Amino acid sequence: MKMPDENKLAKQKKRNQSIAFWIFRLLSYLIVAILFAILSFIVFKGIGVINWNFITQMPEEGMTKGGIFPAIVGTLCLVAGSMLFAFPVGVLAAIYMNEYVKDGIIKKIIKQMTNNLAGIPSIVFGLFGMSLFVNKLHFGDSILAGSLTLGLLALPVVIRTTEEALKAVDNTFRHASLGLGASKWQTTRSVVLPIAFPNIITGLILSIGRVSGETAPILFTVAAYFLPKLPTSIFDQAMALPYHLYVLSTSGTNIAESRPVAYGTALVLIIIVLIANLLANGLRKYFGKKVKMN
């Protein structure tokens, strides 16, 4: 048996390693490049379109001119509505899961179901929202129906991030509080929640980013193709940014001429997501702990 030449072997190993590492580095940079390609494309095309009028005016001339004000308002309404539902419910559910219920079959079922809900495609939420809220409960195509549908979609995200935030709270805090004779709820409310609060808020911001970009769930529950006025009640239809972008780029009356408005709309959407991500990251850094999105 001839032993391999040490130096030759070492050289070979080194070469293989640097080839492999370079490939991986390049592929990783490629992904970053793709991200920047998408972002910069939309920023460059959209930045010229966005101005004060664009965000505060109604659409005009078959949506080829004017602004996207109603779509912005609609999306804000939907985000607010869905969070009004998902945030309290999600946080309460997470508190129950993490602070109250003991390991066992019930916890397992709830966990499993939450996971399942998170895995359901958004278009199925759309189907469900339409058949339950729009048809069965007679909300019609309305902000209420759309918000509830989006809220259900965001629920697993809120639950998961909140649970992680609660798990990150050291048990000694709980024991100290309970040891002083505080009840479970008192402990949760005045000790655990304040410590977990920043991470819970981070989760909230990330879900807002997610909800504001969703299209499929609102297609049949709220979204209006064109509505030159603002919604006045939760039973009104509304325009929404992502749906507006979809309409402008695929089925508008004049796709070519409405392209600039589409770029502008895409940029507004991206800015919302960017702000949500930056805010969440900033908070995370500021408070030093981590909440995972996925």
Partner 1 sequence: MYKIESKNVDFFYGASQALKNINLAIKPNTVTALIGPSGCGKSTYLRLFNRMNDLIDNTKIGGQVLIDGDDIYAKGVNVDSLRKEVGMVFQKPNPFPKTIFENVAYGLRVNGITDKKFIEERVEETIKQVVLWDEVKDKLKKSAFELSGGQQQRLCIARALAIQPSIVLMDEPTSALDPISTSKVEELIYELKAKYTIVIVTHNMQQAGRVSDTTAFFYMGELVEYDNTKTIFTNPKVERTQNYITGRFG
Partner 2 sequence: MKTFYKKFSEKFIEGLLMLSSTITTLTVVLIVVFLFKEGLGVFNKKPVEDGFVIALNKQNPVNKLTSAQLKNIFDQKITNWSEVGGKKDSIILFRMEDITNYYSEEQIGEKFERLPQCIGKVVDSLPNIIAFFSTKYLDKNFQGKQLDIDKISFKEFFGGKEWFPTAQPSAQLGVLPLILGTLWVSLGAILLALPLGLAAAVYMSEIADEKVRKVMKPLIELLAGIPSVVYGFFGLVIIVPLIQKVFDLPVGETGLAGSIVLGIMALPTIITISEDAMRNTPRAMKEASLALGASKWQTIYKVVVPYSISGITAGAILGIGRAIGETMAVLMVTGNAAVIPHTILEPVRTIPATIAAELGEASNGGLHYKALFALGCILFIITLIINLTVEYISNRKKYNNR
Q: Which of residues 108-147 bind partner 2 (CB under 8 A)?
A: 109-110, 112-117, 119-128, 130-132, 135-136
Question: Which of the choices partner 1, partner 2, none does residue 103 contact, using the CB cut-off of 5 to 8 A by kind?
Answer: none
Whether residue 146 contacts residue 238, with contact meaning beta carbons closer than 8 Å, is answered with yes
- CB-side neighbour CA atoms (13 Å) of 2: 3
Cβ proximity to partner 1, 16 vs 190, nearer residue: 16
DSSP string, 234-268: TTS-B--HHHHHHHHHHTSS-HHHHHHHHHHHHHH
Question: Which of the choices partner 1, partner 2, none does residue 3 contact, using the CB cut-off of 5 to 8 A by kind?
Answer: partner 1
**Number of residues lying near partner 1 (CB under 8 A):** 9
Question: Which of the choices partner 2, partner 1, none does residue 235 contact, using the CB cut-off of 5 to 8 A by kind?
Answer: none
Determine, following the binding rule CB under 8 A, whether residue 119 of this chain makes contact with partner 1: no
Question: Which of the choices partner 2, partner 1, none does residue 252 contact, using the CB cut-off of 5 to 8 A by kind?
Answer: none
Cβ proximity to partner 1, 1 vs 27, nearer residue: 1
We find the least distance from the C-beta atom of residue 213 to partner 2, in angstroms, to be: 3
For residue 66, give the H/E element and its range: strand 65-66
Cβ proximity to partner 2, 95 vs 232, nearer residue: 95
Question: Which of the choices partner 1, partner 2, none does residue 123 contact, using the CB cut-off of 5 to 8 A by kind?
Answer: partner 2
- Maximum Cα interatomic distance, the chain, rounded to a whole number of Å: 87
Q: Sign of dihedral through CA atoms 147, 150, 156, 162?
A: negative
Whether residue 130 contacts residue 144, with contact meaning beta carbons closer than 8 Å, is answered with no
Alpha-carbon distance 159 to 40, whole Å?
Answer: 33
Question: Which of the choices partner 2, partner 1, none does residue 7 contact, using the CB cut-off of 5 to 8 A by kind?
Answer: partner 1
Nearest to 64 by CA among 269, 268, 262: 262
- Restricted to residues 6-25, the positions that interact with partner 1 (CB under 8 A) are 6-7, 9-10, 12-13
Alpha-carbon distance 141 to 123, whole Å?
Answer: 16
Determine, following the binding rule CB under 8 A, whether residue 159 of this chain makes contact with partner 2: yes
Cβ proximity to partner 2, 232 vs 292, nearer residue: 292
- Restricted to residues 215-244, the positions that interact with partner 2 (CB under 8 A) are 215-216, 219-220, 242-243
Determine, following the binding rule CB under 8 A, whether residue 191 of this chain makes contact with partner 2: no
Cβ proximity to partner 2, 10 vs 233, nearer residue: 10
To 5 degrees, how large is the angle CA 248–CA 249–CA 251?
70
We find the least distance from the C-beta atom of residue 81 to partner 1, in angstroms, to be: 48
Nearest to 199 by CA among 97, 279, 284: 284
Determine, following the binding rule CB under 8 A, whether residue 34 of this chain makes contact with partner 1: no
Determine, following the binding rule CB under 8 A, whether residue 4 of this chain makes contact with partner 1: yes
State the residue for tokens 């697993």: 156
- CA 177, distance to chain mean position in Å, is 35
The residue ranges that bind partner 1 (CB under 8 A) are 1, 3-4, 6-7, 9-10, 12-13
